[in-house]
């Protein structure tokens, strides 16, 4: 396969002249330009996209890091990131960390070696000041996390969403409410715990407790079995995501506890399964796909040097009432 040196030799010009023609950067006289184009055709030379990118540093590639590609919320976000990227001439390298903090940081390093132009980092738990040190100035946007040190981010008002979920359980008559939380170092889980506590503390005669979950099915199931095996079983459970809420349904079935008659249940995310499982799960909707598209849109505007797009976007949560709290819903 012909190389850039073969083209330079045949066209009787320097390699840097050929490179300027390939990358359309810098001045090349017409005679030399025509000779290079002729030589490229003669040799059927295909410029190496990565090599071209090394020169122009424009590989038109974005890195996308998600914590759990098997969770439909994150796959929705990933679809949104990719659809917006492709619509703007970018490709995406997807990395799944399986909630592993070291792997998240490894991917931030690895993607820089792949010459991505920027990174969309979803559901990250790496402290932001550590991220800044890892990035070496590479453009990044946080998704599903409100930035404090970094400038770009898209997220849902998680404290407001958790408040909505808990207030709904109280309005449905619950007085002993348990919250199965996400990982302690997850910013979205921390915000949801805060929203849960605020709703509980506002209401006289309502008691709240927090059980540790991890946003995963097994963690949610274990927490639910403990809650439903206690002497004082809660009459309401708010699970920090739908994957754990589905685990609560299975745990209640195992314990012979009826939802919503004995225990009312609310989840978070509105993944498709939350509607298909029986009873269908009342949940707080996160617009994962729209969040992903917006993350890509903001990052690409930065890469293209445009300032016509706001660097941050907060999405409003929406409560979707279903049978796990009210059997009389359609
Ligand atoms: O389902 C996974 C959860 O982790 C989602 O609620 C998302 O917000 C992330 O934080």
pLDDT in tens, 121-164: 999 889 998 888 888 889 999 999 999 989 999 999 999 999 99
Q: How confident is the model at residue 33 (pLDDT cuts 50, 70, 90)?
A: confident
Query: Residues 182, 187, 192, 197: is their CA dihedral positive or negative?
Result: positive
269 alpha carbon – ligand 1 mean position (Å):
7
Domains 4-56 and 158-286 share a fold: no
Residue 241 beta carbon below 6 angstroms from any ligand 1 atom: yes
CB atoms within 10 A of CB 46: 9
pLDDT at 47 over 90: no
241 alpha carbon – ligand 1 mean position (Å):
6
CB atoms within 10 A of CB 175: 14
328 alpha carbon – ligand 1 mean position (Å):
28
17-26, 61-70, 167-176: lowest mean pLDDT where?
Answer: 17-26
Angle of helix 4-11 relative to helix 15-22, nearest 10 degrees?
A: 110
Quote the pLDDT of residue 115.
Answer: 82
State mean pLDDT over 236-250. 98
Quote the pLDDT of residue 308.
Answer: 87
> Which overall architecture, per CATH, does domain 4-56 show?
Orthogonal Bundle (1.10)
> By the 8 A CB rule, do 193 and 180 touch?
no
pLDDT at 52 over 70: no
Quote the pLDDT of residue 263.
Answer: 98
CATH 3.40.50.2300 fits 158-286, yes or no: yes
Q: What is the CATH number of domain 61-156+288-316?
A: 3.40.50.2300
State mean pLDDT over 211-217. 97
Q: Look over the chain and give the mean of its residue pLDDT values, rounded to a whole number.
A: 93
Residue 73 beta carbon below 6 angstroms from any ligand 1 atom: yes
Per-residue exposure over 291-330, b if at least 16 CB sit within 10 Å of its own CB, e if not:
bbbbbbbbbbbbeeeeeeeebbbebebebbbbbbbeeeee
What is the number of residues in the chain?
330
Name the strand (E) or helix (H) holding 142. Answer: strand 140-143
Quote the pLDDT of residue 34.
Answer: 87
Name the strand (E) or helix (H) holding 170. Answer: helix 158-171
d(CA 330, CA 234): 26
What atom of ligand 1 comes closest to residue 73's alpha carbon? 1
Q: How confident is the model at residue 49 (pLDDT cuts 50, 70, 90)?
A: low
Q: Which of 240, 246, 281, 295 to mutate to test the pocket of ligand 1 (most atoms within 8 A of CB)?
A: 240
Q: Which of 75, 123, 287 to mutate to test the pocket of ligand 1 (most atoms within 8 A of CB)?
A: 123
Instruction: Look at 142 and 28; give whichever has higher pLDDT.
Output: 142
Quote the pLDDT of residue 50.
Answer: 57
pLDDT digits (tens, 9 = 90+) for 250-305: 999 999 999 999 999 999 999 999 999 999 999 999 999 999 999 999 999 999 88
Q: Whose CA is nearest to atom 10 of ligand 1?
A: 188
pLDDT at 1 over 90: no
Phi-psi region of 87 (alpha: psi -120 to 50; beta: other; left: phi over 0): alpha
Non-local (6+) Cβ contacts of 86 within 8 A are 92
Residue 71 beta carbon below 6 angstroms from any ligand 1 atom: yes
Domain-wise residue ranges, the chain: 4-56, 61-156+288-316, 158-286
Quote the pLDDT of residue 112.
Answer: 86
- pTM surpassing 0.85? no
Quote the pLDDT of residue 54.
Answer: 55
pLDDT at 108 over 60: yes
CB atoms within 10 A of CB 262: 14
> By the 8 A CB rule, do 60 and 111 touch?
no
pLDDT at 57 over 80: no
Quote the pLDDT of residue 55.
Answer: 55
Q: How confident is the model at residue 56 (pLDDT cuts 50, 70, 90)?
A: low
Pairing mode, strands 318-320 and 283-285: antiparallel
Residue 155 beta carbon below 6 angstroms from any ligand 1 atom: no
Backbone angles phi, psi at 74, to 5 degrees: -70, -30
């Amino acid at each position: 396969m012909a190389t850039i040196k073969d083209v330079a030799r045949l066209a009787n010009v320097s390699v840097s002249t050929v490179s300027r023609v390939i990358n359309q950067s810098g001045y090349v006289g017409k005679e030399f330009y025509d000779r290079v184009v002729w030589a490229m055709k003669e040799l059927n030379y295909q410029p190496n996209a990565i090599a071209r990118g090394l020169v122009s540093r424009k590989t038109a590639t974005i890195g996308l890091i998600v914590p759990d590609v098997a969770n439909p919320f994150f796959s929705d976000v990933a679809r949104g990131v990719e659809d917006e990227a492709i619509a703007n001439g970018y490709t995406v390298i997807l990395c799944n960390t399986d909630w592993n903090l070291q792997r998240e940081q490894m991917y931030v390093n690895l993607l820089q070696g792949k010459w991505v132009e920027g990174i969309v980092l979803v559901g990250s738990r790496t402290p932001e000041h550590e991220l800044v040190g890892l990035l070496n100035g590479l453009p990044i946007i946080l998704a599903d996390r409100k930035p404090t040190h970094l400038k770009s981010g898209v997220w849902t008002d998680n404290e407001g969403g958790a408040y909505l979920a808990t207030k709904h359980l109280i309005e449905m008559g619950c007085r002993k409410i348990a919250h199965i939380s996400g990982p302690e170092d997850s910013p979205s889980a921390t915000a949801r715990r805060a929203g849960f506590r605020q709703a509980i503390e506002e209401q006289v005669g309502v008691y709240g407790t927090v059980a540790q979950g991890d946003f995963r099915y097994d963690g949610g199931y274990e927490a639910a079995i403990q809650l439903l095996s206690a002497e004082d079983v809660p009459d309401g459970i708010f699970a920090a995501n739908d994957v754990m809420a589905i685990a609560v349904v299975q745990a209640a079935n195992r314990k012979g506890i009826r939802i919503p008659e004995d225990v009312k249940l609310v989840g978070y995310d509105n993944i498709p399964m939350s509607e298909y499982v029986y009873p269908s799960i009342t949940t707080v909707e996160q617009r994962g796909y729209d969040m992903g598209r917006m993350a890509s849109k903001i990052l690409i505007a930065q890469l293209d040097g445009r300032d016509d797009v706001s660097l941050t976007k907060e999405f409003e949560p929406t409560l979707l009432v279903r049978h796990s709290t009210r059997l009389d819903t359609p």
